Amino acid sequence: MTEPSQTVRDTADTAPPAGGTRHDWTLDEILGLFGLPFNDLLFRAQTEHRRAFDPNRIQASTLLSIKTGGCSEDCGYCAQSAHNETELERERLLSLKEVLTAARRAKDEGASRFCMGAAWRSLGKAQTHDIVEFVKGVKNLGLETCMTLGMLSPEQARALKAAGLDYYNHNVDTSEGFYPNIVTTHGYRDRLETIRHVQDAGIKVCSGGIIGMGEERADRAGMLLTLANLPRHPESVPINLLIPIPGTPLADTEALDPLELVRTIAVARILMPGSYIRLSAGREAASDELQALCFLAGANSVFLGDRLLTAGNADPGADERLFARLGLDLMPAEPAEAEAAHHAAE
């Protein structure tokens, strides 16, 4: 096991990535990275990773679906869309007590951040009071908070910030060009607008996407281009491998070459060297060896717990054994001063 390191953000602050943090990548440059020989790509990604982070520590979040199913949006991958004929039962918004019970369990299991997700197109007025109470209650337990509630107005983003929300998850999901093949009830520009509202309110952004939806490599590169050229890199970048859900239009999509997941993570690490890159959905089906390659490529965050929102995740016992075999330690919640240093460095 490694010595406990100084805070990750201290390291990021004193050792900016080679060439600095860029926001002007071109698609050709990104495709060039994807096309590198595998060993060269991983060496470069691991070098960047070590400049900004302790390579033997990973951040862990736990997810809870606080409002499941019946969503008005037609996202082709999603179990929760009312447009998809999945087996999922709709549920009401959970109570504060239910949320806090799950958050306490997540903390006991080693998570530093608790992420709450709702199957909504956008946050409604009627729900805002409950959401604010959830944020306050979870923060009081000493956990970082993350919400994913669909689209937000600037006012709603400010209200969540005032409640103490640390992160907001809103994925771009794929390239702008491929997006209409996957979702038609809202557009890519809507996603970017919400991300802007969240950044403007001073909430940290968690934004990434899904690979393995039948897109081309150029779309995976395009997704990373969007994220890397945002005025501020998302602090957290989840890379989800499609979990094919029966009853969704993507249920029978041909599986992606697993090494393409490793490449996508490595490229994300090179483009956004100071961000946490999360190996997200898809770990349940991934071998230990594939996950180890993803960590070598620069992934330094995961979801813990046996459930994501509605789908299965890695078995907690298997995770504990895997992290021990790899000598990976879980990070505690980030102290407030270190976060400020990160933003100063951006």
- Which of the residues are catalytic? 71, 75, 78, 115, 146, 206, 278
Size of the site for ligand DTB (CB under 6 A): 17
- Burial of 105 from C-beta contacts in 10 A (0-12 / 13-18 / 19+): middle
And the tokens for 166? 């640390």
Helices (H), the chain: 8-14, 27-34, 38-52, 96-108, 125-140, 154-163, 179-182, 188-200, 217-228, 258-271, 288-296, 316-326, 336-345
Q: What's the Cα-to-Cα distance from 47 to each of 21, 263, 297, 312, rounded to whole Å?
A: 15, 15, 9, 33
Q: How far is the CB of 169 from ligand DTB (least distance, A)?
A: 5
Does position 169 interact with ligand DTB (CB under 6 A)? The reply is: yes
Q: Which does 81 bind (CB under 5 to 8 A by kind): ligand SAM, ligand SF4, ligand DTB, none?
A: ligand SF4
Q: Which does 275 bind (CB under 5 to 8 A by kind): ligand SF4, ligand DTB, ligand SAM, none?
A: none
- Candidate residues 171, 175, 199, 248; the one interacting with ligand DTB per rule CB under 6 A: 171
Give, as ranges, the residues between 79 and 98 that touch ligand SF4 (CB under 6 A): 80-81
Give the distance between the most distant pair of CA atoms in the chain: 52
Best CA proximity match to 183, nearest among 256, 83, 70, 311: 83
Q: How far is the CB of 78 from ligand SF4 (least distance, A)?
A: 3
And the tokens for 325? 């075999």
- Nearby residues of 267 by Cβ (< 8 Å), 6 or more positions away: 30, 33, 34, 41, 45, 221, 224
The 8-class DSSP code of residue 240 comes to E
Which CB, 190 or 320, lies closer to ligand SF4? 190
Binding characters for ligand DTB, 117-156, by CB under 6 A (x = yes):
x------------------------------x--------
Binding characters for ligand DTB, 63-92, by CB under 6 A (x = yes):
x---------------x-------------
Work out whether the CA dihedral 151, 221, 281, 203 comes out positive or negative: negative
The 8-class DSSP code of residue 286 comes to S
- Candidate residues 198, 237, 242, 271; the one interacting with ligand SAM per rule CB under 6 A: 242
Does position 78 interact with ligand SF4 (CB under 6 A)? The reply is: yes
Q: Which residues pair with 273 in a beta bridge?
A: none
Does position 310 interact with ligand SF4 (CB under 6 A)? The reply is: no
Which CB, 150 or 222, lies closer to ligand SAM? 150
Does position 71 interact with ligand SF4 (CB under 6 A)? The reply is: yes
Which CB, 240 or 300, lies closer to ligand SAM? 240
Q: Which does 212 bind (CB under 5 to 8 A by kind): ligand SAM, ligand DTB, ligand SF4, none?
A: none
Work out whether the CA dihedral 211, 216, 217, 218 comes out positive or negative: negative
Query: In this structure, what is the dihedral angle of CA atoms 115, 256, 25, 32, given to the nearest 10 degrees?
Result: 150
CB 283 within 8 Å of CB 313: yes
Does position 301 interact with ligand SF4 (CB under 6 A)? The reply is: no
Which CB, 42 or 262, lies closer to ligand DTB? 262
Does position 243 interact with ligand DTB (CB under 6 A)? The reply is: yes
* b/e sequence 186-211, b meaning 16+ C-beta within 10 Å: bebebbbbbbebbbebebbbbbbbbb
Size of the site for ligand SF4 (CB under 6 A): 9
Which CB, 16 or 312, lies closer to ligand SAM? 312
Which CB, 117 or 249, lies closer to ligand DTB? 117
Best CA proximity match to 254, nearest among 244, 246, 267, 239: 244
Q: Which does 217 bind (CB under 5 to 8 A by kind): ligand SF4, ligand SAM, ligand DTB, none?
A: none
Q: How far is the CB of 252 from ligand SAM (least distance, A)?
A: 13
CB 198 within 8 Å of CB 168: yes
Contacting residues toward ligand DTB, per CB under 6 A: 63, 79, 115, 117, 148, 169, 171, 208, 238, 240, 243, 280-281, 308-311
